[in-house]
Structure 1
């Protein structure tokens, strides 16, 4: 995933941190303060992972389609039956499309899961901030001071970095499980089921040969028959002599 290109610096800039924190009040001050500001910053940052996650799914989908295309094109036996070849290709592509949709749902769910529930232990290990001590002289203006906002931005950046490492491992695993493994296990299962429902005439249509190839084979058969007749004619003349 192109995680390095994600605009975390802009999202966690001093101006944006101050803006988000000033607009959010937490409902769990015992956890992190300002808790709701942290949550909004983290949620906004983690949403950036959705784009690379979907891009990973699409990249694997493209590779699998190319493998299918080459495999079908290089199978000599299928070249005799273009209808069957086209039917297999269509069924394989439909299956890959289903695998891609399942993979996207799974990878996006992983990102949403990280956004919906924070790893509390990470924040419990952070140094206690002055305002959490309940200092009565701590004003709302101080709450949004530059040093305080920079610390929040740094903490969120560290948390996003931790989640990023998790995503680097979990998203590729999800993609392999939902697309690569499924393609290997059940790429043409649906096709086999549909073929089993076809009647004799429909199956015969699938096995219809390429007209050009059929005509060429018929010409060869007629030519072979002429050779045989010529051979028999020559043999009969030889015996007569």
Structure 2
């Protein structure tokens, strides 16, 4: 290829018909012209390409925000993300309760009325009755109560009783979160 281009240059330089055009002829000249044209076309299209890329990035960011950001693998990063979400929720919740945003009274209602009503419906009086406590502790002790302390029975009683609270607590938090989200969407 190099020798072919060298012969081409020599031909245009030595030919009496083309000597005056030797700088404007040949594959090297065409390559330079095409390079300049390609460069100008690319420079003209760069803003369009950049805006397409930025628009695609914005669309992907919006979709990622809608779907949720990926959870980090690093435990420290996960903790940081959880704390950031808690801070954001706490800030919005505080604004609702302090009157900075409408609807704080509805959130108060969740904790003042719904949660106590749900807690009153729990069957704790039956579960913590003397008969049930005696039964759970005796089952935990086994056949030789002097060898095993009744601590296991007490732990089982406490664990089950705490699990009773989990349903109303989750429902109250979910209701408050839904109210906060609805109030954020509703401009009135």
Normalising by the smaller structure, the TM-score range is 0.3 to 0.5
Of structures 1 and 2, the larger Rg is shown by 2
TM-score by length of 1: 0.28
Question: Which one has more relative contact order, counting CA pairs under 8 Å at least 6 apart?
Answer: 1
